[in-house]
């Protein structure tokens, strides 16, 4: 086994699934690749690319319809159990039993993997120390934060020493600190212990350290190579320029993306816009068209390559202009009055204080971001703002209504998109829209008109069962359901978690348009680069407000330069707060 030439070899691999209407859908189409042992391999691609199907095929949980696959020199068609005895596989939901404690989950996996009794204590101690969970052995897995669940899932996966480790989107839905901690565990396993690791992701920056990267789209391999080899494909196409004073980054991005003949991608990064030139246009013509932007070349990134590759191979329909008509009461239309007012907001769960005396306000048409590591209290804050959870103390007004006394009235002006989209999977797109429209009190011709407008705007397939939609189209449908009653405030709870960069770009163009039309947006996200789109952000940890202001103001408060990424700024603020004595911690509330 130690002299393996390849850990995994796939030749013309194909896998199809039956859909609910009896038709066949090809998930993997004539896919070929090979993975050498002792290296880190990234499997990247947009939602619906086939990443999870490939993972499950390698784990012997699915069998191919045609083609050949060998894993550690075994064929899963006739040796799936042998493969499973040699590998470890962490699925997207971490594979935990939430009613069991941390130590009980480890013991269960040790039993499943037949880890000898005399090795267990040593192995458990190593895994607990490696994942920093030693102090939480008796806590039920369901009571852990997202980042801690992620680390426990990895510990359970590694409770025995595998020959091959498969990680299926291990960092979806967790904050930057938790993502960094996971890779601080995984990288040494590859570099120092020679473990073969294959992981799938839509986070392109995570693929940067990979020895080999396989890019998938709709079950087909678009590219394969090292990070440097893939980045070389966009060399000479990448530029940057400073954002002019007084110009909103998201509006400038939207303007640039309206010129696809020249601009393939544009994204705010710190105080700059990073853009990618259409390779079909000459550099001279590009500079002529954008001479007033003070363009200069910049180093290419994996995301640049990924976006270009996706756009060259994508047929996804773009979102059209959104129909919004805010027929607001006078107190809501008053632009000088905050649409959301929070003063000394506090929430207790028994003796535990989840949110501790936070204060802020949000103006009409503002995009306001709630950021924080897993377990910071931002979800609790978010649920109180939505009227889904009562406050224990403090003042909370939404759309001119005190949520303590008139929660139902406030909800008439609120649209809500949850992390899991709250769709009915067995209903069609049209049936979902009709159901939610009726919940919001829309009927007859008015409901039909709104459905038509939103289906046209979001380019939704009316008669498709929602469970059959990709994550990107599920997100569009969830947005459409939330906008049916033309709310003044749109609450978005990690709406871009698990979708690819191209879908995220399209999503933020939609949000920009809604904001321009006066819709107030409250959003939580673990993608720190998305904070650049917000007018203001609040960073929370341990229930406290650590920083509040525009992205530029947040950097100033953290004593970071204009060039510092929001990801690094966020990590600095949270880590600095955690090492301070409690008595010296103070949140900025400018």
Q: Model confidence over 309-338: pLDDT tens digits? A: 988 877 655 666 566 665 444 445 555 678
Domain match, 404 and 504 both? yes
What does R_g of the chain's alpha carbons equal in angstroms?
A: 25
Q: Please identify, among 180, 214, 230, the residue that sits at the C-terminal boundary of a domain.
A: 230
Answer yes or no: is pLDDT of 586 > 60: no
What is the residue-averaged pLDDT of the chain? 86
Do 261 and 160 fall into the same domain? no
Closest CA to 523 of 571, 570, 501, 491: 491
- Say if 275 falls within a structural domain: yes
Within-domain flag for 583 = no
Give the Cα-Cα-Cα angle 138, 143, 144 (nearest 5 degrees): 85
For the chain, percent of residues with pLDDT exceeding 70:
92
Please give the pLDDT value at position 323. Answer: 65
Q: What b/e string do you get for 488-510 counting C-beta neighbours within 10 Å, with b at 16 or more?
A: bbbbbbbbbbbbbbbbbbbbbbb
Residues 156 and 276 in one domain: no
Run of H or E including 43: strand 40-44
Asked if 170 contacts 138 with a C-beta cutoff of 8 angstroms, the reply is no
Of the three residues 258, 280, 299, the one that is the final residue of a domain is 299
Question: What HEC string does 174-229 produce?
Answer: CCHHHHHHHHHHHHHHHHCCCCEEEEEECCHHHHCCCCEEEEEECCEEEEEECHHH
**Predicted pLDDT at 393:** 92
Whether residue 25 contacts residue 2, with contact meaning beta carbons closer than 8 Å, is answered with no
What's the mean pLDDT in 206-234? 93
Mean pLDDT for 362-370 is: 93
Domain end call among 230, 263, 283: 230
**Whether 332 contacts 487, CB under 8 Å:** no
pLDDT one-digit tens code per residue, 445-493:
999 999 998 998 888 888 888 887 877 788 889 989 999 988 999 999 8
Q: What is the pLDDT of residues 278-314, one digit of tens each?
A: 999 888 888 787 777 788 999 999 999 999 998 887 7
CA dist., res. 123 & res. 354, Å (int): 34
Return the higher-pLDDT residue of 580 and 136: 136
- Hunting for tokens 């490939």 — which residue is that? 54
Question: Which pLDDT value is given to residue 35?
Answer: 94
Q: What is the mean pLDDT of residues 263-269?
A: 90
What pLDDT shows up at residue 335? Answer: 59
Q: Are 29 and 220 in contact (CB under 8 A)?
A: yes
Answer yes or no: do 366 and 269 share one domain: no
Strands (E), 300-408: 340-349, 352-362, 367-371, 393-398, 401-402
Burial (CB count <10 Å: 0-12, 13-18, 19+), residue 44:
buried
Residues 189, 181: Cα–Cα separation, whole Å: 13
Kindly report the CATH number assigned to the domain that includes residue 513.
3.40.50.300
User: Considering the domain boundaries, does residue 318 fall inside one?
Assistant: no
Residue 358 to residue 345: CA distance in whole angstroms: 5
pLDDT score recorded for residue 580 = 61
The range of the structural domain enclosing residue 265 comes to 236-299
Q: Is residue 310 part of a domain?
A: no
User: In the predicted model, is pLDDT for residue 587 greater than 70?
Assistant: no
**How wide is the angle at C-alpha 111 spanned by C-alphas 108 and 115, nearest 5°?**
125
Q: How many CB atoms lie within 10 A of CB 311?
A: 16
The verdict on residue 127 lying in a domain is yes
Q: Are residues 244 and 180 in the same domain?
A: no
- Rounded to the nearest 5 percent, the helix, strand and coil shares of the chain are 40, 25, 35
Q: Are residues 285 and 357 in the same domain?
A: no
Look up the pTM and report it: 0.84
| Gap between the Cα atoms of 389 and 383, Å rounded | 5
Q: What is the tens place of the pLDDT at every residue in 531-547?
A: 999 999 999 998 999 99
Q: Tell me the per-residue pLDDT of 29-44, one tens digit each, with 9 for 90 and over.
A: 999 999 999 999 999 9
- 140: three-class secondary structure by DSSP: strand
**Is the domain of 87 the same as that of 59?**
yes
Given this model, what pLDDT does residue 588 score?
38
**Domains: count for the chain:** 3
Residue 63 CA: distances (Å) to CA of 53, 142, 169? 10, 32, 21
Cα–Cα distance, 60 to 109 (Å, whole number): 18
Question: What is the model's pLDDT at position 325?
Answer: 63
Are residues 241 and 226 both part of a single domain? no
Selection from 571, 426, 422 nearest residue 492 by Cα: 422
């Amino acid at each position: 086994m130690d002299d393996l030439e390849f850990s995994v070899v796939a030749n013309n691999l194909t896998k199809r699934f039956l859909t609910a209407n009896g038709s066949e859908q090809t998930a993997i189409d004539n896919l070929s690749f090979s993975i050498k042992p002792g290296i880190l391999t990234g499997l990247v691609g947009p939602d619906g690319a086939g990443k999870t199907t490939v993972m499950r095929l390698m784990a012997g949980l699915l069998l191919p319809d045609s083609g050949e696959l060998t894993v550690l020199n075994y064929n899963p068609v006739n040796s799936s159990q042998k493969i499973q005895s040699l590998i470890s596989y962490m699925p997207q939901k971490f594979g935990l039993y939430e009613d069991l404690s941390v130590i009980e989950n480890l013991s269960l996996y040790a039993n499943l993997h037949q880890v000898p009794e005399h090795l267990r204590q040593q192995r458990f101690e190593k895994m607990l120390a490696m994942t920093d969970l030693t102090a939480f052995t008796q806590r039920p897995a369901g009571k852990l934060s997202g980042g801690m669940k992620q680390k426990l899932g990895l510990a359970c996966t590694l409770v025995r020493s595998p020959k091959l480790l498969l990680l299926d989107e291990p960092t979806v839905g967790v904050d930057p600190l938790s993502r960094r901690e996971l890779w601080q565990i995984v990288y040494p396993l590859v570099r120092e212990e020679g473990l073969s690791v294959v992981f799938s992701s839509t986070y392109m920056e995570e693929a940067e350290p990979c020895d080999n990267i396989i890019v998938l789209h709709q079950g087909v391999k678009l590219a394969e190579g090292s990070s440097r080899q893939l980045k070389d494909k966009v060399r000479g196409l990448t530029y940057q320029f400073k954002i002019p004073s007084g110009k909103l980054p998201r509006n400038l991005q939207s303007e640039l993306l309206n010129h696809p003949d020249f601009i393939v991608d544009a994204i705010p990064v710190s105080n700059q816009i990073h853009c990618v030139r259409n390779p079909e246009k000459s550099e001279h013509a590009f500079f002529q068209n954008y001479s007033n932007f003070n363009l200069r070349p910049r180093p290419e990134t994996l995301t640049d390559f990924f976006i270009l590759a996706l756009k060259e191979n994508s047929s996804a329909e773009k979102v059209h202009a959104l129909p919004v008509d805010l027929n607001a009461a006078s107190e809501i239309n008053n632009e000088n009055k905050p649409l959301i007012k929070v003063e000394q907001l506090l929430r207790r769960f028994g003796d535990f204080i989840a949110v501790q005396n936070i204060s802020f306000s949000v103006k009409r048409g503002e995009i306001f971001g709630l950021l924080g590591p897993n377990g910071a209290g931002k979800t609790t804050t978010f649920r109180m703002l939505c009227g889904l959870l009562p406050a224990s103390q403090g003042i909370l007004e939404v759309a001119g209504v005190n949520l303590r006394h008139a929660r139902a009235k406030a909800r008439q002006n609120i649209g809500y998109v949850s992390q899991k989209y709250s769709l009915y999977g067995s209903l069609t797109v049209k049936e979902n829209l009709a159901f939610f429209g009726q919940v919001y009190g829309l009927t007859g011709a008015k409901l039909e008109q709104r459905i038509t407008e939103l289906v046209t705007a979001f380019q939704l397939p009316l008669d498709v069962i929602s469970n059959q939609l990709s994550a990107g189209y599920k997100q569009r449908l969830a947005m459409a359901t939330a906008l049916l009653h033309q709310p003044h405030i749109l609450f978005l709870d990690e709406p871009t978690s698990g979708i690819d960069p191209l879908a995220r770009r399209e999503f933020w163009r939609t949000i920009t348009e809604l904001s321009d039309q006066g819709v107030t947006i409250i959003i939580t996200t673990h993608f720190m680069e998305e904070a650049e789109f917000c007018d203001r952000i609040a960073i929370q940890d341990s229930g406290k407000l650590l920083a509040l202001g525009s992205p530029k103001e947040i950097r100033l408060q953290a004593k970071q330069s204009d060039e510092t990424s929001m990801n690094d700024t966020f990590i600095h603020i949270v880590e600095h707060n955690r090492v301070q004595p409690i008595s010296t911690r103070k949140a900025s509330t400018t």
